[in-house]
Amino acid sequence: MKYSPIIAGTMTWGSWGKQLSKNEMADLIQFCVANSISTFDHADIYGAYTTEADFGNAFKASGIKREQIQLISKCGIQYQSDNRKNKVKHYDYSKDYIIWSVETSLKHLKTEYLDLLLLHRPSPLMVAEEIAEAVTILRRDGKIRDFGVSNFTASQMEMVGLRTNIDVNQIEFSLTQHKAMHDGTLDYMITSGIKAMAWSPLGGVFKEDSEQTRRIHKQLGTLLDKYKATEDQLLLSWILKHPAQITPVVGTTNKERLKKAIEATKIELELEDWFLILVAAQGHKVP
């Protein structure tokens, strides 16, 4: 596998969340690698354009070798912040901007290449040919190894993919947000050989108190002893059973939860249990 079975999402490691110190971040990197989580998911905008540099400093201090990990980053969102004087939040997928953004991420992350570059969100003004030109140059110069997109629909993947090969699409996918199973997104990815990654894989199960989440908790509760698992592990195993072979991107910085996430990859839900969980989320039986 090019990427670890669970990916560590870094969005909340810095100023947008836990505000980890350099030593705390280095310790967490070491912990992840020691527990088979070797892929780290970034975006240039995280921490208002500061988290990649914080991670890069921590990575340098961690003593972990570059070949032991995989680094993902995303570009394209022009975010309003003190570090980027934009009049409005917007998207920029011009050739020069993509190349500049990758080079800036490389500098911040203290690495010579990204294992994967993703276009963060689709833009109504993106030009597939210009994206392809940038990707060709970045591949040629060894600055990226794989290329992909994030939050793209099937038609958007097809448009960009006609000009340059798409390796990955990172989408929102969870028990409470599973429309990608029904709108053709995952079907297209399977057909086209595009790897699926899922951000926010636990969805709203632990964030919301609603009829839906109460149904889900009740159903998961009946399966905990059977699988000797926690609720969050069952939610991850539910995703992992899909034939698109979806890799969850988990955003926690809690070491125990990270360990449980990697352990969840060993759980094999029985077919009817998978559908029981789906029915609990939907509130009705399948058609």
Q: Which residues are catalytic?
A: 46
Measured in whole angstroms, the distance separating CA 44 from the mean position of its chain's CA atoms is 14
One-letter identity of residue 18: K
- Going by C-beta distance under 8 Å and a sequence separation of 6 or more, which residues neighbour residue 16? 46, 47, 48, 51
The rounded distance, in Å, linking the Cα atoms of 239 and 232 is 11
The rounded distance, in Å, linking the Cα atoms of 198 and 278 is 17
Radius of gyration of the chain (CA): 19
Angle, helices 22-34/51-62, rounded to nearest 10 degrees: 70
Residue 235: left (phi > 0), alpha (psi -120 to 50), or beta?
alpha
Q: Is the dihedral of CA 112, 44, 57, 30 positive or negative?
A: negative
Question: How many alpha carbons lie under 13 Å from residue 4 in its C-beta half-sphere?
Answer: 26
